[in-house]
Amino acid sequence: MALKEVQLNRETFSCPICLDLLEDPVTIPCGHSYCMNCIESHFDEEEDNEIHSCPQCRQTFTTRPVLLKNTMLTVLVEELKKTGLQAAPADHYYAGPEDVGCDVCTERKLKAFKSCLVCLASYCEQHLQPHYESPAFERHQLLDPSGRLQENICSREEEVMKMLCCADRQCICQSTVSTAMAERTRRRDKIKLSRQRIGRRIQQREKDAKALQQEVETINRSADKELEESEKISAELIRLVEKRSSDVKQEIRSQLNGKLSQIAELQEKTERKITWLKRKDAALRRLSRNKDHNEFRRCYPSLARLGRLKDFSAIFLKYSCDITLDPNTANKQLLLLSEGNRKETYVSEAQSYSSHPDRFPAWPQVLIFENSGYKFMYNKNTIPAPQSSRIGVYLDHGAGNLSFYSVSETMTLLHRVKTTFTQPLYAGIGLFPALGVPAGGDLATFYKLK
């Protein structure tokens, strides 16, 4: 019931500036409430003044007031919009002794909703509709219902004060037009100055925006350049990886070809040995079948030499030992150990052996094998020797004898050293490849005697 009574008093919820229902109600420090847009516009007009004021009580503020939303008024206005005046009792529509009645109603007068300064009459909501709908009333000025419309007649000019002073909320007549126009000119000049200041601020902001856009373009160009450089680096890395892969493949093929060549050589030697053994076996078979004693004795010495070779090989087998290369002494440059450290190969890159105090800083120089042959070095003197692909070494440490043999179908003494050994002896191999020999083409191996 209390809500319906509040709905009838519509003026309570009207904005003092636009005279309509409050829209987004806000309250300023003096306690008066306005539409947010209305009071914002009012303060914008005072932007050039040093102080701001309330349109109703004229209270001044040294700084522009902070607008606070009036939550309660917002709720009440929304309820008023939803229910409307139709929800109130009929008696509340009719004008009482203290109310302003509609000048058009012929019977019981309804409460006036607005008064017109041009018509000098008040109208209920129904009779006020032509002022909203007909173009003829377009210039009429409406205000809250007033029973003192005659006060709007200028006492000097005896004419309706048709103009409303926004600052004082009072009507003025035509005689005060010049003053109003002067005020309008002054305010228009203020607006012009305000617009000029705003224009300069807009230009500055546009300049800032342009600078920011240029910075964005610079960053984009820099990013594009970095991406281009990154793509170049990636392409170069891919090229290097592909080249390295090609080099590795070529090196593997080269090593493979070297090993295949060695195997082919061994196969050829094996075939020759088989052929020689078959011929020797055939000769022995023919000799064993020969009944001529003189011929048998004449051919026997070759058989005796074969027997002596067999006896000498047995001596080697008796005193043979299993020799492996010590990786802690292998020189890091271009030496690769394999086959249980029994094989040494000359390769094209340094090996990643760990540091060790026993490692040779230079090539060991005990035995050197080349494609063109080999040579012995003793007391810095070079001792020539015939070519042989397989070397046998016999050491009698106590007697001070060190002998080197060429081992093939026969065993031929190549060189013998006679000296006194005061310290232990170690076997070693040094590889010095000839010019033009590919990596992997030079190797030496310790063989097990069988």
CB atoms within 10 A of CB 345: 21
* pLDDT of residue 6 exceeding 50: no
Question: 171 with 259, same domain?
Answer: no
Model confidence at 202: pLDDT above 90: yes
Q: Which of 124, 156, 179 is the last residue of a domain?
A: 179
Nearest partner of 96 among 107, 86, 108, judged by Cα = 108
Q: pLDDT class for 320, splitting at 50, 70, 90?
A: confident
196 found inside a domain? no
- Sequence-distant (6+) residues with CB within 8 A of 118 are 139, 140, 141, 160, 162
Instruction: Write out pLDDT tens, residues 86-133.
Output: 434 445 577 878 888 898 887 778 889 899 988 889 999 888 888 888
Residue that wins the pLDDT comparison between 44 and 441? 44
Least confident of 167-176, 362-371, 396-405: 362-371
Instruction: Note whether 260 and 441 are within 8 A (CB).
Output: no
Question: Among 11-25, 125-139, 293-307, whose mean pLDDT is lowest?
Answer: 293-307
Are 215 and 162 members of one domain? no
pLDDT of residue 34: 92
Name which of 82-96, 181-195, 215-229, 241-255 the model is least confident about.
82-96
Residue 366 counted as domain residue: yes
Which pLDDT belongs to residue 220? 92
Same domain, 65 and 121: yes
Q: Are residues 344 and 237 in the same domain?
A: no
Give a yes or no: residue 262 inside a domain: yes
278 & 386 share domain: no
- What mean pLDDT comes out for the span 49-75? 86
CATH of residue 37's domain is 3.30.40.10
363 lies in the same domain as 275: no
pTM, to two decimals: 0.32
Residue 339 included in any domain: yes
How many domains is the chain built from? Answer: 3
User: CA of 230: how far to CAs of 234, 238, 240, 430, in Å?
Assistant: 6, 12, 15, 48
pLDDT at 204: 93
β-bridge mates for residue 383, sequence order: 376
Domain that holds residue 98: 2-179
Rounded to whole angstroms, the Cα distance separating 24 from 34 reads: 8
Residue 187 lies in a domain: no
Verify that 7 and 135 share a domain, yes or no: yes
Q: Indicate whether 32 and 80 sit together in one domain.
A: yes
pLDDT at 281: 83
State whether 382 and 284 are in the same domain.
no
146 and 239 share one domain: no
- Where among 155, 179, 203 does a domain terminate? 179
How many of the other CB atoms lie within 10 Å of CB of 115? 23
Quick one: 252 and 165 in the same domain?
no
| Proportion of the chain above pLDDT 90, given as a percent | 15
Q: 427 in a domain, yes or no?
A: yes
Domain end point (choices 289, 322, 344): 289
229/109 same-domain check = no
Average pLDDT of the chain is 76
Which pLDDT value is given to residue 82? 75
Q: What is the mean pLDDT of residues 308-312?
A: 53
Residue 199 domain flag: no
Banded model confidence at residue 364, pLDDT cuts 50, 70, 90: very low
Cα–Cα distance measured from residue 205 to residue 41, given in angstroms and rounded to the nearest whole number: 23
Is the pLDDT at 358 greater than 80, yes or no? no
Handedness of CA 80, 115, 33, 91 (dihedral sign): negative
Choose among 159, 158, 176, 156: nearest CA to 167.
Answer: 176
Task: Determine, yes or no, domain membership for 195.
Answer: no
